[in-house]
Structure 1
Amino acid sequence: MLFQVEMTVMIPADMPAETAAEIKAREKDYAQELQRSGIWRHIWRHAGAYKNTSIFDCRDNQHLHDVLTGLPLFPYMQIDVTPICRHPSSIREDDR
């Protein structure tokens, strides 16, 4: 199942810089692992904001939930999820 996920990151201003850097490093590693596995299919940054729009390919809603709650930055995110599906006019064979 495909999901469009918008994530807005809101790290507390009083979080120590070293703590924030460590969380961001773990986030990057986890995100890149998910991309390599094909679960996190696309990621785009929103210009001028600490926000992204991503496409996830998960087995079901629970799988997506597990993936998102595994993000190290999850406690500091607002997340909006939209289930999506292949458009009948798409010429892309890998859109499911």
Structure 2
Amino acid sequence: MPVPTRAGRGLGPEAGRVWAAVGDSFLDGMRLCLIVAAALTFLAAILAFALLRAPRRAGTPGGQAVRQGGATGTPAAHDETVTGPATTPAPAPAPTPTES
């Protein structure tokens, strides 16, 4: 007579071997995932090291003009890092009343 399991299915006298095979296949899958994750982590570390060691390139020759004046060539009022703080013109003196 088959031995019932928790799910109500009778696996018979081979139930122990079935559950051992399920556990072994699960552990094999976990081992494979860990190996793949370790390989990808190692590859990412090598790429990060190579990119951080590479010399930095200078900016493009036209980059300065674009940053200062934008596409139209007019200075940007909000661009304080390149052109300095934005200044406003001094207010005009108040008109003096004239006596007639």
**TM-score where L is the length of structure 1:** 0.24
Structure number with greater Rg is 2
Larger fraction in strand: 1
* Larger relative contact order (CA 8 Å, sep ≥ 6): 1
Larger fraction in helix: 2
**TM-score where L is the length of structure 2:** 0.23
